[in-house]
Structure 1
Amino acid sequence: MTGRVAAVSSNEVYSFSKPNRDSITLLTGLGVEGDVHAGETIRHQFRMTYEPDLPNLRQVHLMHEELFDELSRKGFQVSAGQLGENITTRAVDLLGLPTGTLLHLGEQAVLEVTGLRNPCSKINDFRKGLLAEVFAMDPESGEFTFKSGVMAVVRRGGVVRPNDSIRVEPPAPPHRPLERV
C-alpha cells in the first residue's frame, strides 16, 4: 500500500494545534526535531506527571486527512495540524494498521506504529462537540472507536515533506490490532 504525506506540523511549545511546516526532520529514537513531544521518555504533558520515566511511544502523531473530510460533512471545519498531529496522511488506512507496522516516508525516514491516539477532552475546547466525532462507544459491543490517528516512534530519521510518498510495511503475522498508547 502506498499513500502520501498531505502536511507536516510541529510546535516547540505545548499547544493543542501545531503549525504547518515546509518540512520536519525526524530524529531516530526521539521524534520530530524541535517538537515539544520529542524525547526518549514520555513528553505528554499530563502523563509526565505520573509516568515520567516510561518510554515515549508517542514520538510522532499521524492523522489521516480523510478524517477531516468526514468531519466536514458533519459541519466541523478542521485542517492539517489543528488536532495536534505531526504528519497528516492521505490514502493510508492508519486505523486499520497492525501494531509494529513500518511506514517509510520519503527517501529515508521510517516510523514504527505503536498504537492509537487517545483523543484528549481539550478537543471540545477547539470545536464544541468534536470529541464525540473522534471517540465513541458502540452501544451494542461496548467497544470504543478511536479516530484521532495513530502514534509512532522514529526507527530511522530523515526529512519529511508534503507530497512525500508513504510505503506501508506490515509486520510478520500474527498481527496485533492497535491499542491506545
Structure 2
Amino acid sequence: MGAAVTAVSSNGEYAFTKPTRESITLLAGLGVEGDVHAGVTVRHRSRVAQDPTQPNLRQVHLIHQELFDEVGAAAGHEVSPGSLGENVTTAGIDLLALPTGTLLRLGSEAVVEVTGLRNPCAQIDAFRKGLLKQVVGRDESGAVVYKAGIMGVVRTGGVVRPGDPITIELPERPHRPLERV
C-alpha cells in the first residue's frame, strides 16, 4: 500500500484534541475550513501572544499513524487520530524525513506545502502523562528529535477524506531539513 490519509480531524474551538470527521476541506492560503488554527496569520495562542502578525506556517498539522503504534508499544500510551491535535493522519510515508518545501497532494485536489516540524508542548503530557518524552527524544549523536508530526500551508484547496492517496513532490535540491515552526 502506498502513502494514504487514514483520518482527518478539525475543531472550531481551542482544544488539544480534534474530533475525527468524514472529510475536511482545505482552503488555499488559510488551512482547514472551520478549524480554529485556519488563517493567514498565526492562530496558535502562544505564537499570537508573541506576534500576531506572523505568517501562519502551521495551517495544517499532519501526523503519521505509525507514531501511535510506536508510543503504544514503547510506553503503553493509547493515542488515536485527532488525539494530538492533528488535522491529517497518514500511513505509509515518513513525514519526518521530508525536506522543507515538499508538496503533498492529498487526494485528487488538495496540495499542502511542508513548512516544518511541529514543536511539541507540555499539553502533550497533560493529555497523557509521559507522552511528551515519547515524542521528543535524542538520536545516537545526542541531537534532539521531534516526532510529533509536521506542519504545512495549503497551496491548493480541496476535500480530503480517509483513504485518499498521498503523492509526494520533493523540492529542488539542495534539500533543507525540517526545523521547528
Check whether the contact 1:2–1:168 (CA below 8 A) recurs between aligned residues: no
Taking only the aligned residue pairs, the percentage that are identical comes to 64
Aligned positions of 1:46-57 closer than 5 A: 46-57=46-57
Structure 2 SS opposite 1:13: coil
Aligned positions of 1:88-167 closer than 5 A: 88-138=89-139, 141-167=141-167
Q: 1:167 to 1:2 in 2, by over 3 A?
A: farther
* Pairwise CA distance, 1:2: 4.2
Aligned partner of 1:67 in structure 2 is 67
Give distance in 2, aligned partners of 1:159 and 1:2: 19
Give distance in 2, aligned partners of 1:155 and 1:62: 15
Give distance in 2, aligned partners of 1:142 and 1:164: 37
Deviations 1:29-85 (A, max 9, x none): 000000000000000011101111010000000000000010110211100000000
Runs of 4+ in 1 over 2 A off after TM superposition: none
Alignment gaps of 5+ in structure 1: none
Aligned partner of 2:58 in structure 1 is 58
Give distance in 1, aligned partners of 2:69 and 2:142: 26
Give distance in 1, aligned partners of 2:82 and 2:150: 14
Structure 2 SS opposite 1:8: strand
* Pairwise CA distance, 1:96: 0.2
State the AA in 2 paired with 1:96.
Answer: A
Bigger helix share: 2
Give distance in 1, aligned partners of 2:125 and 2:179: 23
Give distance in 2, aligned partners of 1:176 and 1:50: 26
Give distance in 2, aligned partners of 1:29 and 1:36: 15
1:86 aligns with 2:81: no
Give distance in 2, aligned partners of 1:125 and 1:132: 12
Give distance in 2, aligned partners of 1:34 and 1:150: 20
Give distance in 1, aligned partners of 2:71 and 2:2: 24
Check whether the contact 1:11–1:36 (CA below 8 A) recurs between aligned residues: yes
Aligned partner of 1:23 in structure 2 is 23
Aligned partner of 1:6 in structure 2 is 6
Q: TM-score scaled to structure 2, two decimals?
A: 0.97
